[in-house]
Amino acid sequence: MNTSSTLASSVQEREAQHVLQIYRRTPVVFERGEGVHLFTGEGRSYLDFISGVGVASLGHAHAGLADAIAAQAHTLLHTSNLFFHPLQADVATALAARTGLDRAFFCNSGAEAVEACLKFARRYWYTQGATSRTKYVAFTHSFHGRTMGALSVTWDDHYRAPFAPLVPNVVFADPADVAGFDALVDDTTAAIIVEPIQGEGGVRPIPPAMAAAIEAACARTGALLIADEVQSGSGRTGEFLYSRTLGLTPDLVALGKALGAGVPVGVAMFTNAVAAAAMPGDHGSTYGGNLLACRAALVFLEALDSPALKASMAAASDRLFTGLRAMQRRLPVIRDVRGAGLMVGIDLTFDAAPVVAAAFERGLLINRTSTTVIRLLPPYIITTADVDAALPLLEDAIVAGGNA
């Protein structure tokens, strides 16, 4: 056994003693990162096209982020929401400008951001005395997180069943069935919740006809719209919110993942109309929006404003989609290539698990979602050269995975 696998198995054995066994981890121990690469202690290098599930947006060991975090740590990290500090207003202002929504609630994860959206959608109607207006309309194949509220609007029974009963009054519409959806939205609906691109559900953009139907249903019934942009938002698709690309005008938006560039940051954004219902004490978070989280978000938002980064993201995305479509013509096992920007799904005719393993063996990190779909969520800093390096590895892995 070489040193690398010895280390991996010793870490695995120690974790097996006391870490809750809920993850199927690949047996590798990463010790260091640099840009789009991760390294094991023995120096084996991997090209990272999943970025910690869409989180390490500025890549690994980003010097500007590291310096800002270190400086913040030497100054002040946390004071709680009992007091003011200078950075929350800065992040809230920057997010308001980029999302078009007025007010931010800070938390620590995507699930918490969704949770806040679900709560304040009901709070809005409660304040108006419409106490029976509590229904949530969600979509089949949705994923919104693991807390009880977020789980209640998550579709897959595999995640839900062991934890029932969940929050009542949730119904699911098929994103391809406009008439079925219309029948579910009525004047008891508090909110419709949608991922503009379903991430865990297989990187499926909401069809334009459904986006139009959502807007029409909100106009018809007054139902609020929650856009869960935890995965698709924060600039990953080229626009700050993919909702805008679809022509959706959400009242509440959940953000997370890429926004903290590796520091846990969740944010729920609200229109003033929704936010007006919130009263002191309604909701809160000990850590939410502390100085560490806000500093990281500010570094990320500033980086995202760079025209050079925007241009290189667009070029990398073009190269990736062009390359994948050419690969699809060569490999009939690729059923579909979909997504936007740097959120990409490659749907295969077979279970993608062996492809992920084969890519790993070749030094490329990707992941599988919705059984047959390979998901790519690379860091925003990838270049066309990184794409050129990844595509042949991916093609080899798909061929090898198909023969496995």
Binding site for ligand PLP (CB under 6 A): 109-111, 114, 143-145, 195, 199-200, 228, 230-231, 256
Collapsed DSSP state (helix, strand, coil) of residue 313 = helix
Least Å distance between CB 273 and ligand PLP?
23
Identify which of residues 115 and 386 has a Cβ nearer to ligand PLP in the complex. 115
- Rg of the chain over Cα atoms, rounded to whole angstroms, equals 21
Least Å distance between CB 110 and ligand PLP?
2
Least Å distance between CB 254 and ligand PLP?
6
Least Å distance between CB 244 and ligand PLP?
17
Least Å distance between CB 105 and ligand PLP?
15
CA distance 67 to 264: 17
180 contacts: CB under 8 Å, gap ≥ 6: 173, 174
Least Å distance between CB 153 and ligand PLP?
10
CA distance 112 to 35: 29
Question: Which residue minimizes CB distance to ligand PLP?
Answer: 110
- Tokens matching residue 280: 């002191």
192 contacts: CB under 8 Å, gap ≥ 6: 136, 137, 138, 185, 214, 217, 218, 223, 224, 225, 226
Least Å distance between CB 107 and ligand PLP?
9
Nearest one of 334, 324, 335 to 376, comparing CA atoms: 324
- Number of other CB atoms surrounding residue 129 within 10 Å: 8
Please give the angle made by the CA atoms of 315, 319 and 314, to the nearest 5 degrees. 25
CA distance 46 to 32: 11
CA distance 197 to 335: 18
